[in-house]
Amino acid sequence: MAVVPARTSRPDLGVPFAPEPRVAASGTLFSASEAPSSPAEVVSAHAREQTRCRSVVDRAMASSPLLQFMVKAIKGRNCELADPLVVCAPIPKAPIEGGYNHDRRQVLVNSLVIKSQSDALTLLLHELTHAYDACRVYVDPGNCRHSACSEIRASNLSTECSWQNEWFGTRRTPHLGFRAQQQACVKRRAAKSIGMLEACKGKDPRAVVDSVFERCYADTAPFPRTPI
Ligand SMILES: [Zn+2]
């Protein structure tokens, strides 16, 4: 896990450190019909994946006012960022969509998993929320509550718990109103994320999320409210 350098000049607002990689719903290197038969074909296939991933990321960035607003907000914090801020790379053995690297200050997109512009939009908003948090507050990688807070914010602001994703996806829980449904989704995803962290080992992820939920869910910066 990335080690976050101490940043004592920034206040500790109880918000972020967000190291965890997002778990993909599914993802394989190649479909059976596409499986390469030689090392040269593997290299060629990876190059195609990289190009396709970069194209998807670029289109998401170019078409989303939310992403553009977030990037502008991050840059407005005047913290050091990698150039490029977002990179595509294959992560063959990990079923993850991507993650934020605190050491490099860079967002990684798993080129083997992210296939669509909408997938890229949600992932980028999620990971860039972590980047934004890391720019604005002191973060403690050993503090499970910090991680929980940033995960709550990232799930809330990334639209991954929007009514479209929740109601038309596979995670729908009946008998809940939209707001309750959205909050339940944010809690569920945040708890799942911190459950994989060393800093949260031995703790009940749901209880940790509950302990910071109200404050962190209400914190929608840099957006004035939760994007829909
Ligand atoms: Zn996250």
CB atoms under 10 Å from CB of 211, counted, come to 16
Distance CA 94, CA 171 (A): 22
Cα(55) to ligand 1 centroid in Å equals 23
* pTM for the full predicted model: 0.78
**Domain total for the chain?**
1
Whether residue 224 lies inside any domain: the answer is: no
Predicted local confidence at residue 125, as pLDDT: 96
Cα(33) to ligand 1 centroid in Å equals 33
Whether residue 91 lies inside any domain: the answer is: yes
- Please state the three-class secondary structure of 147-214 as a single string: HHHHHHHHHHHCCCCCHHHHHHCCCCCCCCCHHHHHHHHHHHHHHHHHCCCHHHCCCCHHHHHHHHHH
Whether residue 65 lies inside any domain: the answer is: yes
Predicted local confidence at residue 221, as pLDDT: 95
Which residues are catalytically annotated? 127
Distance CA 89, CA 81 (A): 18
Whether residue 225 lies inside any domain: the answer is: no
Cα(161) to ligand 1 centroid in Å equals 13
Predicted local confidence at residue 45, as pLDDT: 78
Predicted local confidence at residue 145, as pLDDT: 95
Predicted local confidence at residue 165, as pLDDT: 60
Predicted local confidence at residue 36, as pLDDT: 55
Domain that holds residue 46: 22-28+35-218
Cα(8) to ligand 1 centroid in Å equals 23
Predicted local confidence at residue 81, as pLDDT: 84
Contact assessment for residue 200 and residue 218, using Cβ atoms and an 8 Å cutoff: no
Whether residue 11 lies inside any domain: the answer is: no
Give every residue of the chain whose pLDDT is below 70, as ranges: 1-37, 42, 139, 163-176
> What angle do the packed helices 65-76 and 39-63 form, to 10 degrees?
90
Cα(177) to ligand 1 centroid in Å equals 25
AA letter at 22 = R
Predicted local confidence at residue 189, as pLDDT: 95
Predicted local confidence at residue 51, as pLDDT: 92
Distance CA 18, CA 12 (A): 14
> Cα dihedral sign for 121, 124, 127, 131?
negative
Predicted local confidence at residue 40, as pLDDT: 75
